[in-house]
Amino acid sequence: MKNFYLLISILIFSQLHYSFAQDDYLKWLQKEQEKYQKYIDEQDKKFLDFLRKEWKEVGLEKGLPSFNTPKPVEPPKFFEEEKKREEIKVLRPSEPEKKTKLNEEKVPPEKVEKIPSDEKEQKPRAVESEKLSNALTLEFDFYGASLKCFYNDKIKIKLKGKLSKETIANFWEDLSSSNYKDILQQAISLKSQMHLNDWGYLILINNLAEKIYSDLPNEKILFIWFLLVKSGYLARVGYYEDRVTLLIATDNVLYETPYLFLKNHTSRFYRITLDEKSKIEIGKIYTYDGEYPTSTKVFDFYLRDYPLIEDKYESKTISFIYNKKEYVIPFEYNISAVKFFERYPKTEYPVYFSAGMSEKAKTSLLNNLKPYIKDKSEYEAVNFLLHFVQKMTDYKTDFEQFGREKPLFPEESLFYKFSDCEDRSILFSFLVKNLTGLEVIGLKFPNHVAVAVKFNQNVEGDYINYKGSKYLICDPTYFGADAGICMPAFKNVEAKIIEW
């Protein structure tokens, strides 16, 4: 009985101790939150001082060109296969190619993973938080996905008076005094849930801002700038005449995009337009001198994770002839991913070469190619993939297809009917790395892009020495050419190496 009362006493004491400890923690937490809010208020005040000081007129540099000389309209062909249809054996993934007559055993097909065709209907995606009191519900589209946020209408701030440094500073002051934190936290949460990179996050905020500020284009840009800065990004705004423009800092090169260097920064600040219909003019703008203290993060355009956006898949089948046999390769691609990349800023080649695919597109394409290369030598496997990429689409330059330079991410090449040299090199590299594990590098010629592969065995052909190793040249644009055959025009031309 004594032990029983002792146990009860211990439990009561423990509960009291826990209650006091929890109360102390809540007091400490509240105190820390107050200290943090005081710090933020001080930073906003200091930043407002910057905004109210004299803004400087700065000139924008013309965007860097991606190619110094135009790409050829018609690439050379190594040879053209012209065989009668009846002489060609048609092979599909379920019918792996037979070995030579010396060995009549069938090659066992590698098991192909089944991909479900039925897709579950997706409901609007919202952050995992309780609905805010007296809040409005905002639903907006993000590449086919219906997203939902809750916000207070007081975050819709209008510029008071003619566009100037004073009205911009007042906009910041009014917005920083509103309940902006709720929508900011929801945006950051959606970024995490959807594995969005920095560009994806910018588009997310833009689509959100479009709903709130649909009738106020300058305020929309200022709202995006505010959220980016409060998210820790190094971003600025400038203005000219009656228009506001957005500047973002990045260490990646953005081609054909006006930029400028600002005081105390080594990164370029690029002038970004988020309106698909408008073009960025080159000229001068007024901008402030100074940064928000906690905003130091430059934009990263690499896809460290593939974005988890709406699953909207379409099917496609490619047939091509290789060694007098016709191969039929079916696969799927995510049309939402294609739309995500449609207006992606043109950036450095390593960004494209290092990118992946949506899980379903990757699985369907790789699993339907595996049976044809599983028992081949490294060279034969690479050569098979090379001919597949050479023949899966017709050749067209970006200007012919898009009216501008636009390298394709791997999944985009599964959708578009045409491609040019860098698109084919990017897709071919993806296939070689994922199906053979061999090392691949890109080769940037004056008006052409190809690749080179490092084999584990000695293989004859055109090659380059890189870091003490032999890399065999493979050109996905040189129609009909095997691995190890370089276009004659580039045999004696030095190429820049593309690593990722």
Question: Going residue by residue through the chain (500 aa), what tens digit of pLDDT does each one get?
Answer: 555 555 555 555 566 565 566 666 565 555 545 544 555 678 888 899 889 988 999 999 999 887 666 777 787 788 644 333 333 444 555 554 444 333 333 333 333 333 333 334 445 565 544 455 568 899 999 999 999 999 998 999 999 999 999 999 999 999 999 999 999 999 999 999 999 999 999 999 999 999 999 999 999 999 999 999 999 999 999 999 899 999 999 999 999 999 999 988 999 999 999 876 666 566 899 999 888 989 999 999 999 999 999 999 999 999 999 999 999 999 999 999 999 999 999 999 999 999 999 999 999 999 999 999 999 999 999 999 999 999 999 999 999 999 989 999 999 999 999 999 999 999 999 999 999 999 999 999 999 999 999 999 999 999 999 999 999 999 999 999 999 999 999 998 999 999 99
pLDDT at 14: 61
Burial class (CB in 10 A: 0-12, 13-18, 19+), 453: buried
pLDDT at 46: 86
CA torsion sign for 239, 244, 245, 247 is positive
Burial class (CB in 10 A: 0-12, 13-18, 19+), 327: buried
Strand runs labelled E in 375-488: 394-395, 418-419, 439-445, 448-454, 463-466, 469-474
**pTM, rounded to two decimals:** 0.84
Residues for the chain: how many in total? 500
pLDDT at 5: 54
Q: Which residue has the tokens 């219909």?
A: 277
* Residue 454 near residue 439, CB atoms below 8 Å: yes
* Residue 226 near residue 220, CB atoms below 8 Å: no
pLDDT at 74: 80
Phi, psi of 319, rounded to the nearest 5 degrees: -120, 140
pLDDT at 26: 60
pLDDT at 104: 35
How far, in Å, CA of 320 to CA of 304, rounded? 33
How far, in Å, CA of 311 to CA of 116, rounded? 12
Could you give the C-alpha distances from 307 to 39, 119, 223, 380, 497, in angstroms and in order?
34, 18, 24, 34, 28
How far, rounded to the nearest angstrom, does the alpha carbon of residue 19 sit from its chain's CA centroid? 48
Looking at the DSSP bridge assignments, the partners of residue 142 are 145
Nearest to 183 by CA among 123, 255, 126: 126
Phi, psi of 160, rounded to the nearest 5 degrees: -105, 95
The per-residue b/e assignment along 123-155, b for 16 or more CB within 10 angstroms, e otherwise, is: eebbbeeeebeeeeebebebbbbebbbbbbeeb
